[in-house]
């Protein structure tokens, strides 16, 4: 079965569309925020590489390897902060350098890409099972942005008969919280959408926080949608457990040597359209922020609960080359 992606902008407006896309189309869709969410963009890139391999017509190995490198760089550049994308690309290309035949290389890419997509969905299911086990009947949970792992966890808890309430932050400027709210409401969950700046006020009504993850560093730091760190600080101050649902392909081997994660900054017009503020007003629009490990209770992964202090060990075990 050929992997597919979901256009999240269309999802916001009550329609879904699945399609196969080539590398350039996928990279543009990610840059344009038509595909968002760390898991979705990783699967989209793996799917694009599947499509690349499935439609490739050349028969020269050297040319193919050059084209693969171009495809890899194009996809990785589309969202540099999200290590999920990087790991999805690298997983899809693993082992191709050992192949000498063009057909074998293309077959390897297709097999690896499909395996990554399948494992990604299985990881979300495992996280939902584990995450829902720590949710109790009557819990009031706050979440931020739009995480498929978090939504699956909350839905699983609801399916288990637990009466839960959810506060979902709006998540400016792209308002991914509207997607989260609609998905939870459609599942029958009691959800309240709040503006981002109300998170501190409403935290007094909450007893758990669940967020997703774009990147987990070797130092145990969570890189996630901007505003996450504020929720973590408030939850820490009020003694509320703070959990990050993170598939292990979001753990970053690139941070083992202490390298920092570059925070993506997007177009200022996402914040204010031309003419809304004087030209002398500076605008800064970061997509992500960093939450230190000491503010995170646990990472909920498909391998189990991982403490931030164990992130380095986890990355070494996961990405140690044979």
Active-site annotation holds for 214: yes
293: CATH: 3.40.50.10470
3-class DSSP string for 76-131: HHCCCCCHHHHHHHHHHHCCHHHCCCHHHHHHHHHHHHHHHHHHHHHHHHHHHHHH
User: Is 155 in the same domain as 40?
Assistant: no
Identified catalytic residue from 137, 145, 267, 279: 145
User: Is 109 in the same domain as 205?
Assistant: no
Check residue 4 and give its pLDDT.
47
User: Is 166 in the same domain as 119?
Assistant: no
User: Is 166 in the same domain as 300?
Assistant: yes
User: Is 56 in the same domain as 83?
Assistant: yes
Q: Does residue 103 sit within a domain?
A: yes
CA distances to 53, 82, 226, 257 from 263, rounded to whole Å, are 31, 9, 10, 18
Looking at the 3D structure of the chain, how many domains does it have?
A: 2
111: CATH: 1.20.120.420
Q: Does residue 129 sit within a domain?
A: no
User: Is 187 in the same domain as 277?
Assistant: yes
Active-site annotation holds for 245: no
| CA count, 13 A, side-chain hemisphere, 316 | 9
User: Is 210 in the same domain as 314?
Assistant: yes
Q: Is 20 exposed, middle or buried (0-12, 13-18, 19+ CB in 10 A)?
A: middle
pLDDT tens track, the chain, 322 positions: 444 444 444 343 333 334 568 999 999 999 998 998 889 999 999 999 999 999 999 999 999 999 999 999 999 999 888 899 999 999 999 999 999 999 999 999 999 999 999 999 999 999 999 999 999 999 999 999 999 999 999 999 999 999 999 999 999 999 999 999 999 999 999 999 999 999 999 999 999 999 999 999 999 999 999 999 999 999 999 999 999 999 999 999 999 998 889 999 999 999 999 999 999 999 999 999 999 999 999 999 999 999 999 999 999 999 986 4
**Domain limits for position 242:** 134-319
Check residue 54 and give its pLDDT.
96
Check residue 14 and give its pLDDT.
36
Identified catalytic residue from 214, 279, 289, 322: 214
User: Is 120 in the same domain as 138?
Assistant: no
């Amino acid at each position: 079965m050929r992997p597919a992606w979901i256009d999240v902008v269309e999802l916001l407006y009550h329609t879904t569309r699945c399609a196969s896309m080539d590398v350039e189309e996928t990279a543009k869709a990610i840059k344009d925020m038509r595909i968002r969410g760390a898991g979705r963009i990783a699967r989209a890139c793996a799917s694009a590489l599947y499509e690349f391999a499935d439609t490739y017509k050349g028969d020269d190995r050297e040319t193919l390897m050059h084209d693969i490198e171009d495809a890899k760089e194009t996809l990785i550049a589309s969202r540099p902060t999200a290590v999920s994308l990087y790991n999805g690309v690298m997983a899809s290309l693993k082992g191709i350098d050992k192949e000498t035949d063009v057909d074998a290389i293309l077959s390897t890419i297709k097999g690896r890409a499909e395996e990554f997509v399948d494992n990604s969905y299985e990881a979300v299911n495992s996280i939902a099972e584990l995450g829902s086990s720590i949710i109790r009947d009557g819990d009031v949970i706050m979440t931020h942005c739009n995480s498929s792992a978090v939504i699956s966890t909350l839905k699983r808890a609801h399916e288990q008969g637990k009466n839960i309430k959810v506060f979902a932050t709006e998540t400016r400027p792209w308002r991914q919280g509207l997607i989260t709210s609609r998905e939870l409401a459609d599942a029958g969950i009691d959800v309240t959408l709040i503006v981002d700046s109300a998170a501190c006020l409403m935290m007094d009504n909450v007893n758990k926080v669940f967020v997703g993850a774009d990147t987990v560093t070797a130092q145990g730091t969570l890189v996630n949608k901007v505003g996450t760190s504020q929720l973590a600080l408030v939850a820490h101050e009020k003694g509320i457990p703070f959990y990050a649902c993170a598939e292990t392909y979001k753990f970053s081997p690139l941070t083992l040597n202490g390298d920092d994660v570059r925070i993506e900054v997007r177009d200022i017009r996402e914040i204010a359209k031309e003419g809304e503020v004087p030209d002398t007003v500076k605008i800064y629009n970061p997509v992500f922020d960093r939450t230190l490990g000491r503010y995170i209770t646990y990472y909920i992964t498909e391998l189990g609960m991982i403490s931030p202090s164990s992130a380095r060990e986890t990355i070494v075990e996961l990405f140690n080359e044979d």
